[in-house]
């Protein structure tokens, strides 16, 4: 059973949908500000679309910069692959708990951050004092009392990357804008009960994003408990494993990096024998450009063309690795010499259901080895 690699674009679409649903929450918190600058602009004869454009630019700029700041904070804290994975696990756990809180499952427990009093007072005074849409939009990013916005900031920190944090918050902010600009019309069509249900749907999506973030963290720590690894471990696999070819005391493995993942992404290698991992970077993306191997304390930044990584596997077992986002996966199956080959052959399936009882399978038919 070959589990397809999870596409990072799915997370972006989920964040956009959360933003769209959060728009109903934004109407309640910030709708008055929009009405205020719209009314003032009408008195001065300013076109509404120009006012909304200024507000949108200010809000997106604020969200994006603060999202980048949280991503950078996550990167500073997560200075090793393992710590980065732990940070993602904590962020995912927070998102899951917060999502349940949005569904009022833990109604007795308040989950979230309280806005500092001085910051709350500053934002309140400035938004009432100014009627400039751009400034009001900028101040929106500081309204961390907004629950869904808190969840997105935590998710940005969990990425451990300033660029990814900025992307997430930009997409989220983009999703909140349509309802803000058309809330007067939509409010007349949607009942209070329906609005409540829509906000509940937002909570479900936040939980889903939390599960994705939690799974990424588990993958980045190399724990072996992420969804992809568990499925591979408990399913009769049919995916091909590449066997390292040994020559002059060194076993060499080759891998190609494509936009959709790493091919192949599973290798059989011997314990105690130096490994020469030849990586051909053909289609590098924001997701696959860095490989984390926590158990070997390796963080490999890929470049176009060919590069070689060398290491020595010291313990038999499975060494899991992934991209830096924990979404593209791979592993090394470390065996203990000839005895390890014989044991591995006993528990593998060969294509077309034919099982060979000799370790020669590994040497003579490396393309047909499956777990």
Give the CATH number, domain containing residue 347.
2.60.40.420
**256 lies in some domain:** yes
Residue 63 has pLDDT above 60, yes or no: yes
* Residue 332 domain boundaries: 240-368
Burial label for 249, CB within 10 Å (0-12, 13-18, 19+), is exposed
Residue 262 has pLDDT above 50, yes or no: yes
**2 lies in some domain:** no
Q: What value does the mean pLDDT take over residues 88-111?
A: 76
**Mean pLDDT for the chain overall:** 74
**233 lies in some domain:** no
pLDDT > 90 in the chain, percent: 18
Confidence band, pLDDT 50/70/90 cuts, at residue 369: very low
Q: For residues 349 and 56, which has the higher predicted lDDT (pLDDT)? A: 56
Say if residues 370 and 267 touch (Cβ distance below 8 Å). no
Q: What value does the mean pLDDT take over residues 26-38?
A: 65
Residue 238 has pLDDT above 60, yes or no: no
Q: For residues 11 and 149, which has the higher predicted lDDT (pLDDT)? A: 149
Element (H, E) at 179: helix 162-187
Whether residues 276 and 174 share a domain: the answer is: no
Whether residues 266 and 348 share a domain: the answer is: yes
Say if residues 95 and 206 touch (Cβ distance below 8 Å). yes
Q: Which of 227, 262, 288 is the last residue of a domain?
A: 227
Whether residues 246 and 165 share a domain: the answer is: no
Whether residues 200 and 257 share a domain: the answer is: no
Centroid of chain to Cα 157: 11
**128 lies in some domain:** yes
Number of domains comprising the chain: 2
**254 lies in some domain:** yes
d(CA 5, CA 3) in angstroms, rounded, equals 6
160 Rama sector, left if φ>0, alpha if ψ -120 to 50, beta otherwise:
left
**316 lies in some domain:** yes
Whether residues 192 and 280 share a domain: the answer is: no
Question: Is beta strand 329-335 parallel, antiparallel or unpaired with respect to 266-270?
Answer: parallel
Confidence band, pLDDT 50/70/90 cuts, at residue 42: low
Strand ranges inside the chain, DSSP E: 242-243, 245-247, 250-258, 261-263, 266-270, 275-281, 290-293, 298-301, 305-311, 317-323, 329-335
Confidence band, pLDDT 50/70/90 cuts, at residue 126: low
Q: Which of 227, 256, 288 is the last residue of a domain?
A: 227
pLDDT in tens, 264-276: 988 999 999 999 9
Whether residues 116 and 168 share a domain: the answer is: yes
pLDDT of amino acid 279: 96
**Torsion angle of C-alpha atoms 69, 73, 78, 79, degrees rounded to 10:** 90
pLDDT of amino acid 276: 94
Whether residues 297 and 213 share a domain: the answer is: no
Whether residues 208 and 253 share a domain: the answer is: no
Q: Which of 199, 227, 255 is the last residue of a domain?
A: 227
Whether residues 205 and 292 share a domain: the answer is: no
Whether residues 161 and 250 share a domain: the answer is: no
Whether residues 244 and 222 share a domain: the answer is: no
**85 lies in some domain:** yes
**234 lies in some domain:** no
Is the model's pTM score more than 0.95?
no
Q: For residues 79 and 281, which has the higher predicted lDDT (pLDDT)? A: 281
Whether residues 141 and 192 share a domain: the answer is: yes
In the three-class reduction of DSSP (H, G, I as helix; E, B as strand; rest coil), residue 367 is classed as helix
Q: What value does the mean pLDDT take over residues 193-200?
A: 65
In the three-class reduction of DSSP (H, G, I as helix; E, B as strand; rest coil), residue 292 is classed as strand
């Amino acid at each position: 059973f070959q589990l397809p690699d999870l596409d990072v674009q799915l997370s972006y679409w989920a964040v956009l949908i959360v933003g769209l649903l959060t728009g109903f929450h934004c109407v309640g918190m910030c709708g008055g500000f929009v009405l205020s600058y719209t009314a003032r602009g009408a008195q001065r004869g300013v076109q509404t679309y120009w006012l909304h454009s200024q507000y949108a630019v200010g809000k997106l700029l604020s969200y994006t910069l603060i999202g980048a700041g949280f991503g950078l904070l996550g990167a500073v804290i997560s200075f090793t692959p393992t710590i980065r994975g732990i940070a993602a696990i904590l962020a995912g756990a927070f998102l899951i708990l917060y999502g349940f809180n949005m569904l009022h499952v833990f109604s007795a427990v308040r989950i979230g951050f309280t806005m500092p009093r001085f910051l709350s007072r500053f934002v309140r005074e400035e938004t009432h004092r100014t009627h400039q849409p751009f400034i009001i939009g900028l101040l929106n990013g500081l309204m961390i009392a907004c629950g869904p916005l808190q969840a997105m900031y935590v998710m940005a920190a969990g990425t451990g990357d300033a660029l990814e944090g900025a992307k997430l918050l930009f997409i989220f902010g983009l999703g909140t804008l349509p309802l803000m600009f058309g809330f007067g019309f939509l409010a007349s069509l949607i009942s209070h009960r329906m609005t409540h249900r829509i906000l509940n749907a937002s909570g479900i999506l936040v939980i889903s994003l939390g599960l994705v973030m939690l799974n990424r963290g588990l993958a980045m720590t190399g724990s072996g408990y992420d969804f992809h690894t568990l499925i591979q471990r408990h399913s009769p696999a049919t995916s091909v494993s590449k066997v390292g070819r040994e020559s002059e005391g060194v076993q060499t493995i080759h891998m190609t990096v494509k936009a959709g993942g790493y091919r192949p992404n599973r290798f059989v290698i011997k314990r105690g024998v130096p490994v020469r991992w030849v990586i051909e970077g053909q289609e590098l993306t924001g997701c696959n450009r860095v490989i984390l191997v926590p158990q070997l304390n390796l963080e490999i930044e890929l470049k176009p063309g060919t590069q070689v990584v060398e290491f020595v596997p010291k313990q038999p077992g499975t060494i899991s690795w992934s991209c830096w986002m924990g979404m593209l996966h791979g592993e090394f199956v470390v065996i203990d010499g000839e005895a390890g080959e014989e044991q591995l052959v006993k528990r593998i399936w060969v294509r077309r259901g034919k099982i060979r009882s000799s370790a020669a399978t590994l040497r003579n038919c490396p393309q047909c080895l499956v777990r």
